[in-house]
Amino acid sequence: MLKNRNSLLATLFEKELMKDLRRLNGLRNALVHRYNKIEEKSIINEKEHFTKVIKKFVQDVERLIVEKYG
């Protein structure tokens, strides 16, 4: 099931975006579950990048919705 889902996602989103979303998911898990020591400076330094990743994801989802439903 997971392999099929990943294959489908790979056809919908760019490889680099998928990689960045996985990193964001890892960050989310670290923050929520308080894994290891979180480097605040590192998060602050990557804030702009993460913001761009989220905006790109939203744009891609909006594009897919328009393509499917007009």
Q: Which residues are catalytic?
A: 28, 33
Cα 49 to Cα 60: distance, rounded to the nearest angstrom: 17
Residue 20 contacts residue 28 (beta carbons within 8 Å):
no
Cα 9 to Cα 41: distance, rounded to the nearest angstrom: 31
